[in-house]
Amino acid sequence: MSGTRLGEPYGRRIDRSRPISFMFNGRVLAGLQGDTLASALLANGVRLVGRSFKLHRPRGIFAAGIEEPTGIVDLVDGRHRTPDERATLVELVDGLAAESVNCWPSVGFDLGAVNGWFSPLLPAGFYYKTFKWPGWRPFEPAIRRMAGLGRASLERGGEVYEEISENVDLLVAGSGIAGLAAAAAAAEAGARTVLLCAGREPGGALGWRGDAEVGDLLVRARRAGVRILTRTLAFGVYDHNLVCASERLAHVPASATRRLSERLWKFRARSIVAAQGAFERPMLFPDNDRPGVMLAGAVDEYAHAYGVACGRRVVIAANCDSAYRVAESLQAAGIEVVALLDRRPSVDIGTHAAGVRAIANTGIGKVIGARSVRGCVAVPADGHSAPRLRLECDLILVAGGHAPAVHLHSQAGGRLRWLAESSMFVPDGNARGLVSVGACAGVFGREAAAQHAADVGRALALGFTVPAAPVGGASRSLASSRIAAVRGKQLVDLQNDVAVSDVELAARENYRSVEHLKRYTTTGMATDQGKTSNVNALVLMGEFTHREPAEVGTTRFRPPYSPVTFGALIGRRVGALYRPLKRLAAVEWHARHGALFEQFGNWSRPAAYPRSGESLHQAAQREALTVRRTVGLFDGSPLGKLEVWGADAARFLDLMYLGTMSTLAPGQARYGLLLNENGVIVDDGIVARVDERRFWVNTTSAGIERTAAAFEEWLQCEYTDLRVLVTPVTSRYGNATISGPKAFEVMAAAGFGAEFSPQATRHMTLHDGHWRGVPVRVLRASFTGELSYEINLPAGETEQLLQALAEGVETREGCLYGIEALEILRTEKGYLHVGTDTDGTTLPGDVGFARGIDRKAANFVGRRSLLRPAARDPQRLRLVGLAPLDGRTLLPTGAQIANAPPPTQTEGHVTSSYPSPSLGSPVALAMLARGGERLGEQVTVHHLGRRIEARVVSTPFVDPKGERLHG
Amino acid sequence: MMQIPCIYCGPRDESEFVCGGTAHLTRPPLESDDRQWAEYLFFRENPKGAHLERWRHAYGCGQWFNLERDTVTHEIRAVYPITQAAPR
Amino acid sequence: MDNRLDSQPLRAGGVTVELDRSTRVAALRYFDGATASTLVRTVLGEPLPEVQRVIRSASTAGEPFILAWRGPRETWILAASEGPLERLEAACAGKDDVCLVVQTDGILGIHASGTGTPELLRRLGSFGSVPHRGEARTGRFADVAVTVLGLDDREALLLVERVYAEHLLGWVRETLLDMNGGE
């Protein structure tokens, strides 16, 4: 029997009066309120928890905290799974169900264990040398199935996440004696202080022993106003003292449809104190990964905090003095310490555990028991001399020394130095904005740690110089605990199955740098991020390459310090809030009229208005035909709108656009192309002059931010003397666009006066007026090629206008039309769509604006780039029309054009392509090398193995003379 | 995520800004040769250390300004108006 | 999830959030703050606010208004009635150094009040963007640019481009659902 509850006063965190029922691998077990899943499993004598990643070796619980490498489970909640949870962090609740990972059909009988038989063929880096013939693809499905540990859920659970920002004077990460001392002192000196505690209760390693001083510090801290956040782990330090922490919120029953599961904290702190303690190093010996081998400090914590005896007869493999304190502690709890095997050549006088048999210069040569420790064989440190001592035990504790948690210090840019005596890396001075205290600073004596931490807290609060850390207090520890001459796998990284032999292999194959060691062997790359393996690994690499650990160094520390749920980083940005989506003022009106909404750029807008039984495609075809035959109504509100005002507005717009705007008279409008300094088209639009110093600029729906930003950049940074003010007004105005032969008839029926008629107005003119008392700004411009009016008015009146126009549209057997129909119509006319027909290389000359460049006298953005040789290259792609030879086949958008069979240089590609309901055949636009000279030529369009013959034709396809624009 | 000190609005998260790259670039005139023009468009010094650069407070006041940032430590050492010449 | 702009106030976590559809908004644009301030003082009786500040009209004023700094060349005017905007527009007519751009329907106000207001705001944006009383701060809230006016310690007005109002409200709604007891 190897797991029982200890009586009072053991079990500080549990409540014996509140039993909890939970399931593990389908078996119902009992625990207590306050247990973690790990402590409850250990209390039930469950040793076998999972299988290791590569070799499927049996695995159990190894530690008690975030460094847990092997006690990994999936939590199952109905149809929802939370994969790869560390059992040491899972708070036990009623009804919890957990399953082992990486094993099939069960953890007890796992077919994957055959990997263990092949382990000599599977050393580090084996996959670089295998899976090559006949190629790696046949192996991929199998590898994918074998990779990973847990299984993710395919269903959304009810979890939601939030993000919260805060500014503080002092952020303390870690609530042990040092963290509490620093926080209390700082708050008492007036600093707004927040203390982060990763566990359920503050207090750290002394807290669960019921330490009185820690209790007092906690009271002092609270009284001084320190805000303590529990279950909150600081996982990263970023630029300018940003600390990100993840708070796991208390469990809510599975029946809840919505559960705030985790909260991301973003603290900007004037100063940061790192007080995260130190991890324990494992010992290296053969089969040191067997269930029943555990960290000494963890076993002590299970006894004191959870009242769980992880075993009844223990052997301790030690490389430091703290093992002796643990031995005494366990003895006092009634657990027999069979022997303490000290790997160090001699033990200091004074290091002594009463009643414990301690043998120096000794280690473990063999572990007996594969699924559960049953005993071990102690051997002298040289590995082969006598005596060999066989010991019966059900638990082996490893106490290899300590490794300060220097992660936050390192993330903040701090340096490290190696202490040869105690074999650990400690901070070398402070990082910018971050001070380490306590064990993570290398200060192991409790009085020294508490005093230094208090001094630091006070100094940071008052702006004084921070005292240096009194590093010391950790006992002597050997750098390496391995015994060279014994046989058997000695594991370094327990989760990824990296053994001493793998490190030796890496050294032999010349992957000597610590960064190569990591990536070649995968040591430290598992979900525990090497918290219990990194130091052992780099020390070993040093041994094999005759270097000191300091010379080998550590890999770069990057956030997160411990795994963080993706959901917490994403926060609210899911579903409809995934990204900011722009919405129409008349959205409900459109919905009532059958609009099918889709996302176009960052707008949600009607793609079409399908009638019953119609597909989107059919609706778009009908709508496009109807616009040309009678009339259509469209919501053009997404078009970008800018008010450009000032004495220099005209001059400025000449600078910005290709197309001369300064010659516009009030009421006139002109099409323009916006270029960047590379001469590339980034937007197009219509500029209309309202009066002497006011212009109304329409941009593309997707380009408004880009264009407004470009205008501001030029005005603020370059043309600072120009008196121009640019104000975006896209949201302010709604836009109803009426297009088609009967466009004005509909407007008149809705109450628009004769001053707007096609006889009284001209194409590309702007007219301000009123409609039903509402101010309107009417632009005669067309993207459909039909007589078109864009009626702009205060956004709140859009629905009213749409309703009035829709009634006239209906009586004339017109229709509402959406974006899909608009794309068909403009493609029939050969009109450019920036971003569809153009890309990041398209120059004005490529799309037919060469003459505009030469004609324009004034300078404009991008002009110089248009004079480059590449801009004048006759081989450039040019916009052309394409029609399939058979008059039927739709040319796929993006299809490549090439007259020679592949492999060959492509001559261009199809950019826009739609079936034309007006022509009864497909129309397409394409970018084609020397396109302007190839009118009438036959070309081959290639797409996924098909070849379609097409002819280069002139555009527009419909109404080539553009007569329909005038109504 | 850095904290950028907007010249009007004070220190804000980097996510409120757009970085405009190296500051104090001189645009060659229309008559410049292709090499000069290409260097202006594409060639930049990539200093390890002090870098003068432009930023715009896109999610705030919308204003451009200059600052000096250390490209290694990200320390921001000076903030000054966009029209002002380079310090020292 | 329903993101529609409905008029029902949202209440949770000690904060009430309400859409404000009645406030008229305009942007005063100018090259020189001092000249613009003189004009505004003449028309409305208050100068332009300093950087990142808000000025509220005196309670004795017949038609209340709020002036909010938006940039070195821009101040927003919010009013419950057309009067202040009309008078300003008239005063700007024909001038070549100051103009008024009406933004009613283009900028929407979302009013938050109650003890939970600071808790709500720091879940939408980061610390430097949340205004104190008397401040107008424009920053990134719910991933969009929002100008927040600190009307009081527990009262704020969020001004957002109307096209993004549903997105902002959706984020607020989600946040309030989790704020029942406060933090």
> Do the Cβ atoms of C99 and A725 come within 8 Å?
yes
In this predicted structure, the answer to whether residue B33 has a pLDDT above a threshold of 80 is yes
Q: Is B60 on the interface with C (CB under 8 A)?
A: yes
| Closest in A165, A260, A796 to C127, CB measured | A165
Q: Is the peptide bond before A105 cis (omega within 30 degrees of 0)?
A: yes
Mutate to test the interface with A, among C22, C167, C175, C176 (most CBs of A within 10 A): C167
| Closest in B30, B56, B82 to A859, CB measured | B30
pLDDT band per the 50, 70, 90 thresholds, residue A853: confident
Residues spanned by the domain of B61: 3-27+34-81
Mutate to test the interface with C, among A259, A263, A711, A732 (most CBs of C within 10 A): A732
| Closest in B2, B20, B62 to A240, CB measured | B2
| Mean pLDDT in residue range A588-595 | 97
> Do the Cβ atoms of A643 and C101 come within 8 Å?
yes
Cβ contacts (< 8 Å) between A573 and chain C: which residues?
A: 143
Determine the pLDDT at residue A254.
57
In words, the CATH class of domain A582-638+732-826 is alpha beta
Q: Is B37 on the interface with A (CB under 8 A)?
A: yes
Determine the pLDDT at residue A749.
97
Q: How far apart are CA A123 and CA A127, in angstroms?
A: 9
| Closest in C73, C103, C122 to A165, CB measured | C122
Q: Is B11 on the interface with C (CB under 8 A)?
A: yes
* Percentage of residues of chain A with pLDDT beyond 70: 98
| Mean pLDDT in residue range C5-12 | 80
DSSP string, A268-336: EEEEEEE---EEEPPPP-TTTTSTTEEEHHHHHHHHHHH-EES-SEEEEEESSTHHHHHHHHHHHTT-E
CATH of the domain at B51: 3.30.2270.10
The sign of the torsion formed by the CA atoms of A768, A757, A830, A893 equals positive
pLDDT digits (tens, 9 = 90+) for A319-359: 999 999 999 999 999 999 999 999 999 877 677 888 899 99
* Percentage of residues of chain A with pLDDT beyond 90: 85
Mutate to test the interface with C, among A227, A249, A583, A711 (most CBs of C within 10 A): A583
pLDDT digits (tens, 9 = 90+) for A234-293: 999 999 999 999 999 977 665 577 889 999 999 999 999 999 999 999 999 999 999 999
> Do the Cβ atoms of C162 and A164 come within 8 Å?
no
Q: What fold, for C10-21+106-177?
A: Gyrase A; domain 2 (3.30.1360)
How do the domains of chain A map onto residue ranges?
4-127, 158-278+402-477+562-577, 582-638+732-826, 640-728, 874-967
Question: Nearest residue of A to residue C164 by CA position?
Answer: A582
Cβ contacts (< 8 Å) between C144 and chain A: which residues?
A: 580
Q: Which residues of A touch B (CB under 8 A)?
A: 238-240, 242, 268, 413, 432, 677-678, 709, 712-713, 716-718, 720, 859, 863-865, 868-869
User: In DSSP terms, which residues pair with A768 in a beta bridge?
Assistant: A777
How do the domains of chain C map onto residue ranges?
10-21+106-177, 24-102
> Do the Cβ atoms of C71 and B3 come within 8 Å?
no
Q: Return the DSSP state at A944.
A: T
In words, the CATH class of domain A874-967 is mainly beta
pLDDT digits (tens, 9 = 90+) for A59-90: 999 999 999 999 999 999 877 888 999 999 99
Q: Is B81 on the interface with C (CB under 8 A)?
A: no
In terms of pLDDT, which residue wins out, B2 or A849?
A: B2
In this predicted structure, the answer to whether residue A833 has a pLDDT above a threshold of 60 is yes
In terms of pLDDT, which residue wins out, C181 or A655?
A: A655
User: What pTM, to 2 d.p., does this model score?
Assistant: 0.94
pLDDT band per the 50, 70, 90 thresholds, residue A384: low
Please count the structural domains in chain B: 1
| Mean pLDDT in residue range A851-862 | 78
Q: What fold, for A158-278+402-477+562-577?
A: FAD/NAD(P)-binding domain (3.50.50)
| Mean pLDDT in residue range A300-312 | 96
Please check whether residue B67 lies inside any domain of the structure: yes
Please check whether residue B63 lies inside any domain of the structure: yes
Q: How far apart are CA C67 and CA A221, in angstroms?
A: 44
In terms of pLDDT, which residue wins out, A862 or C4?
A: A862
In this predicted structure, the answer to whether residue C2 has a pLDDT above a threshold of 50 is no
Question: Nearest residue of A to residue C175 by CA position?
Answer: A162
Cβ contacts (< 8 Å) between C73 and chain A: which residues?
A: 725
Helix (H) or strand (E) holding C169: helix C165-177
Please check whether residue B38 lies inside any domain of the structure: yes
Determine the pLDDT at residue A2.
47
> Do the Cβ atoms of C128 and B63 come within 8 Å?
no
* Percentage of residues of chain C with pLDDT beyond 90: 84
A567: amino acid identity, one letter: G
Question: Nearest residue of C to residue A604 by CA position?
Answer: C163
Question: Nearest residue of A to residue C173 by CA position?
Answer: A572
Please check whether residue B11 lies inside any domain of the structure: yes
> Do the Cβ atoms of A709 and B34 come within 8 Å?
no
Q: Is B18 on the interface with A (CB under 8 A)?
A: yes
ipTM of the complex: 0.98
In this structure, CATH architecture of domain C24-102 = 2-Layer Sandwich (3.30)
Q: Is C132 on the interface with B (CB under 8 A)?
A: no
Options 3.20.20.70, 3.40.50.620, 3.30.70.1400, 3.40.50.1370; CATH of A640-728: 3.30.70.1400
> Do the Cβ atoms of C71 and B61 come within 8 Å?
yes
Query: Which of A5-9, A438-442, A939-943 is predicted least confidently?
Result: A5-9
Please check whether residue B22 lies inside any domain of the structure: yes
Nearest-neighbour CA in chain B from A859: distance (Å): 9
What's the Cα-to-Cα distance from A668 to each of A785, A858, A964, rounded to whole Å? Answer: 19, 19, 20
Determine the pLDDT at residue C4.
59
Please check whether residue B15 lies inside any domain of the structure: yes
Nearest-neighbour CA in chain A from B22: distance (Å): 13
What's the Cα-to-Cα distance from B74 to each of A171, B18, B68, rounded to whole Å? Answer: 21, 16, 9
| Mean pLDDT in residue range A504-519 | 96
Cβ contacts (< 8 Å) between C128 and chain A: which residues?
A: 167, 268
pLDDT digits (tens, 9 = 90+) for A198-209: 999 999 989 988
In this predicted structure, the answer to whether residue A514 has a pLDDT above a threshold of 60 is yes
Q: Is B82 on the interface with A (CB under 8 A)?
A: yes
Sheet holding C24-30: strands in order across? C54-56, C65-71, C74-79, C24-30, C98-102
pLDDT band per the 50, 70, 90 thresholds, residue C15: very high
Q: Do domains A158-278+402-477+562-577 and A640-728 have the same CATH topology?
A: no
| Mean pLDDT in residue range C102-118 | 96
> Do the Cβ atoms of B60 and C139 come within 8 Å?
yes
The sign of the torsion formed by the CA atoms of B71, B74, B77, B82 equals positive
Please check whether residue B76 lies inside any domain of the structure: yes
| Closest in A581, A725, A731 to C106, CB measured | A731
Determine the pLDDT at residue A1.
37
CATH code, A4-127:
3.10.20.440
